[in-house]
Chain A
């Protein structure tokens, strides 16, 4: 099955700096890669996603890049703010697996004032 690895597990940045979270996946058939933000005790919220036919996607301060050849994708958050502090999960959908979503291990992002 699909295996998604995520790094780093924790990330601390100063307000206004950029944050980068990286993920790798194993199944070359995976074709959809969403990123979720989860605040403590709450449901994951989709913040951005990318499909395998696109190399980069941007939405205001958030961007995602995808390298299909290397099977890795990254989340970039610019001009970080304290409210960006949360746990972020990358995920990949297994191409032939009935749309099962496999999550990365998560990154605890802390934006310090």
Chain B
């Protein structure tokens, strides 16, 4: 199946710094990618929909100025957590759908575990 790669897998940063997470579709083009956040023992919560060449669409309650999303190409979306604080510590997962694939299945990146000290 299609492959979505996410980097870094783990990151530890100091409070107040910014962290960038990359999501790449390796063998297909993705005009839309999705960013999820998952706290321990909880479900995946959609943060925003990343649209290639245009502004991201954020879910209610998600601060767009804190979670900057850029989708500059058909294979790359980035999520930047600005001025990170301990409460931002979480598992961030991106996903993308292979629109040209047979099933339209949604593929997930490996996830990025962010720890803010």
Contact = CB atoms under 8 A, between A and B. Distances in A.
Interface of A: 32, 34, 41-44, 46, 49, 89, 98-106, 108
Interface string B45-61: 11001000000010000
A32 B111 CA distance: 24
B57 A105 contact: no
B34 A43 contact: no
Interface of B: 32, 34, 41-46, 49, 57, 91, 93, 95, 97, 103-106, 108-111, 113
Nearest to B6: A43
A89 B108 contact: no
A34 B111 contact: no
Contacts, number: 44
Contacts of A99: 32, 97
A101 B105 contact: no
A98 B42 contact: no
A100 B105 contact: no
Nearest to B60: A1
A101 B97 CA distance: 11
B109 A100 contact: no
Given A99-B97, A100-B49, A106-B43, A42 B32 contact: no
